[in-house]
Amino acid sequence: MSIKDKLTALLRGQQPSGKPPDGEAYEDLASIPQQAPEPSGPGIFNQSLLELSAEHQIYRLYNQRRQESGYLPAPRLCLDEDGALPPEMVQREKNRLRTVLTKACSVRLKDSKGRSGSSRKKKPAKGEEPEDLEEAESPENEAPVLDALPLFFLSSDKLYAWVIAFPPINGGKELSRDMLYEAMITNEIGFGVDTRLADRLAHDERRYFNLYLIAKGKPAFDGKNGNIVDNFPRVIERVLEVDEFDQVDYTALNLIYNVEVGQEICHLIKPTEGEPGRTVLDQEIPAKSGKNVPLPQGRNTEISEDGTQLLASIAGSVEFTGRSFQVKPVLEISGNVDFSTGDLDFLGDINICGNVLSGFTVRAMGNIHIAGVVEAGSTIEAGGDLAVVKGILGDGTTTVQVHRSIFSKYVENATISVRENLQTDCIIGSSIYCGGEVLVQSGRGVIMGGRVWAAKRICAHTVGSQSECKTSIVLGGRPCASFEREITQREVNAMEMELERLECQPESPVKSSLLSKAKIKLATAEMKLRQLEERRARMTPERERESGRMECGAVYPGTKVRIGEEVLRVQELSRHCVVTMIRDEIVMM
């Protein structure tokens, strides 16, 4: 049985049968609120209580009723006696209640004075006979008789309905249960009605000039969006911390997160359906269902049959590429890179448990982890990060190119190009091209000899040496682009020399074949060099002059610092200094 049918049955004096349908359970009230205790104590105030001035029309109606009936409890307009309603909603509705109440009280006062309302008798027009003798003899200014009036106030979202009853005037009918139910039907309030309150309100001594929450709707609940729970980090912190002894554990840098075939990478928490609500007017409030989130599937991964898990389809290393997880194959070298393995060129990650011996090349599209040493004459190229636990020991021909960051115990007599950051204990006699920061703050923390070019910042304990060895520091600019041009120029020069050598040889089929291949390689290198020069020409002069910053504990004579076209030569030992460009001049502070 619907609530409207229940109300109609009550008006007809019938007892409703059956239980209220689902979603329309009525709130029970243990007892009608009696004289509520006013807040007491310093600083205590009920925020849901509507305060009205003493001149408000409601007090005129109240005084009029009190003169007729004697004792009458004072008006109390509290939107939330139990403190269970949302505070922001209560504060918002207080202003609306004030407006509605002021208008209703004004109309009630006018009706009580006979200025409007159906209870005032209409004066017969000239020439018309009155309907009965009593009407003709009735004085024109006779006070009208008004029955009690229940006034309903609905929240702006129609989820809550309050009632305040005005007493009868001049002997009108007192508030009754039938009158209250009939008013609810007229106002179409038919859901979440507190029927126990409504039944007992007509007999309560505080039924007039008091605000009661008579009906409460059911709010709608939107469904929750789907969510992805990761088992592997999406962002890997590639910074090694320096301990209290100025030491760094280079074995603690986990660049490779291995997975087995079928291992879960992440799983999906499915979205939930929204739960519709209902207003006190028995109108449905629609609810939104949660949005589905796709699993970030990348290369070498697969989705489980139930669509909730992302699994590795091969054994390898997990990496998040910005949009998806992918599994890269990992090449494990249990010993050294030597004649037993040859040069390595791999599309995934490489984990080398030994050393890279002299003259060998290691290339990887992903990360490279070397547990030993990179020896002289070796070539290392990594599309990700490079970690060398025991350091890089070169002879001037060792070349390392990395697209992310390098972490190495030390760097000696090597040429290094790194697009992000370089972190090491010391740099000796090397050529460094770094697109980010060079951090030499652990261990000895020394930069001695060679040239170090960093686009952003160089931090070291010591730069130079007491023997005043020549140490060149370059700050700002685009070091990696400059390195590419230098390498390409070397290739062009080497191919030109190779062509000259081949042309001097006697004619033969072998010479023709080698000559054609050398020309193709030369043309390719020259085209790459032209592209690099064009890219450099497109760069703005301001970008080329971007300055960096050097911070060091000590800088020795023999050190030269260049920023753009400006050069600073250190003439004496300086401690705890910062070198940077200020107003087109290199300043050491």
CA distances from residue 564 to 253, 343, 452, 538, 585 in whole angstroms, order as listed: 35, 39, 14, 17, 10
User: Are 119 and 145 a contacting pair, CB within 8 Å?
Assistant: yes
Interatomic CA distance for residues 440 and 409, integer angstroms: 10
Domain boundaries, the chain: 3-116+143-216, 225-273+285-328, 330-420, 494-538
User: Are 559 and 474 a contacting pair, CB within 8 Å?
Assistant: no
pLDDT tens digits, 58-89 = 888 888 888 877 778 888 888 887 778 888 88
Phi-psi region of 134 (alpha: psi -120 to 50; beta: other; left: phi over 0): alpha
Q: Which DSSP letter does residue 571 get?
A: -
Q: Which residue is it, tokens 């006013």?
A: 38
3-class SS of residue 117:
coil
Confidence tier at 19 by pLDDT (50, 70, 90): very low
For CA atoms 82, 85, 87, 91, the dihedral sign is negative
Task: Output the pLDDT for position 412.
Answer: 93
One-letter amino acid at 464 equals G
DSSP of 241-261, one letter per residue? PP-TTS---GGG-----EE-T
pLDDT tens digits, 264-286 = 999 999 999 999 999 999 999 99
CA distances from residue 5 to 8, 149, 533 in whole angstroms, order as listed: 5, 23, 87
Q: Is the pLDDT of residue 116 over 50?
A: no
Strand 361-364, strand 379-382: pairing: parallel
Interatomic CA distance for residues 544 and 474, integer angstroms: 13
Q: Which helix (H) or strand (E) holds 391?
A: strand 391-402
Residues 6+ apart with CB under 8 A from 427: 410, 411, 412, 438, 440, 446, 447, 448, 450, 452
How is the beta sheet containing 160-166 ordered, strand by strand?
Answer: 149-154, 160-166, 211-216
Strand locations in 495-557 (E): 549-555
Q: Which residue is it, tokens 């689902």?
A: 22
**Mean pLDDT across the stretch 92-112?**
88
pLDDT tens digits, 528-585 = 888 888 887 777 555 555 678 899 999 999 999 998 888 999 989 999 999 998 888 8
pLDDT tens digits, 119-138 = 444 445 444 555 444 444 44
